[in-house]
Amino acid sequence: MKYIGPSILLPAGLHIGYRTRFRRLSCMTSLAITEDEIELDEGRHLLLARNGRGKTTLLKTIAGIIPSVSGSIRRQGTVQFVDEDLRFDNELKTRQILRALFRNGQFKFAMEMAERIELDVEKAYGKLSKGNRQKVGLIIAEARTRSGGAHILLLDEPFSGLDFAAREKVDQIWNENAEGIVRLVCVHPDEPTLQAKSALAIRNGHLEQLSVEGVLDWIHTRQSLN
């Protein structure tokens, strides 16, 4: 069987937003629309916008958690939406969580990644800091990709609670494990790790794809966001 790599296709006219209800009335809040087709293939792609402009909504729409206002997204690969709201029994140690989720090579990979990013796997999950809980989520997401096949990782500000050293280690691991994975990474304006194949920007109510050519010129891009 021919291997088909991972991809995300956002069609022209894709409209993202969300519905709210007030006293039996339904209201649609529009956030962004695509004018041109956007395709994301294997590799890392950044998602940029000011707060409240639709970054998380776009990730959840791609993941199928919430519907688009109009337009259908095509996804090729196993999809994971990775945010900081991962929940486990607070009394469980991280080692126990990883052992329950993974076996053999995936468990070995998870433990090795935990060591590399300096996560104490013997500490109870409920006693972990925000940054260390984020590390658990990142480890689980990466270990799941070790099952083979095509994968799509949608990461919502994954580095917000991590220090610089941990960010660098995660960046290295992503570079080492790039084959067969699309990573769409929502990043904060202060995020120093901005290497990517392309970037998506939400500005003026439109979702656009920007050329990056290796490293994003963040200062110029930030000035264009509104």
> H or E element: which one contains 106?
helix 104-116
Strands (DSSP E) found in the chain? 7-10, 15-22, 25-34, 38-40, 43-48, 74-76, 78-82, 151-156, 181-186, 195-203, 206-215
Instruction: State the Cα–Cα distance between residues 178 and 180, nearest whole angstrom.
Output: 6
Please give the Cα distance from 73 to 75 (Å, whole number).
6
Please report the pLDDT score of residue 87 as a whole number.
Answer: 87
For the cut 70, the answer to whether the pLDDT of residue 214 exceeds it is no
Distance of CA 105 to the CA centre of its chain: 23
Higher-scoring residue by pLDDT: 90, 190:
90
Q: What is the mean pLDDT of residues 189-212?
A: 82
* pLDDT at position 134: 94
Range scoring the smallest mean pLDDT among 23-32, 150-159, 178-187: 23-32
What band does 152 get if pLDDT is binned at 50, 70 and 90? very high
Q: Which CATH superfamily is domain 7-224 in?
A: P-loop containing nucleotide triphosphate hydrolases (3.40.50.300)
pTM of the model: 0.91
What tokens appear for 12 in the block? Answer: 């022209």
Q: How far apart are CA 203 and CA 33, in angstroms?
A: 10
- Whole-number average pLDDT of the chain: 89
Average confidence (pLDDT) over 148-153: 95
DSSP 178: -
Structure-model confidence comparison of residues 3 and 169, the more confident one? 169
Alpha carbons 30 and 190: distance in angstroms, whole number: 27
Domain residue limits, the chain: 7-224
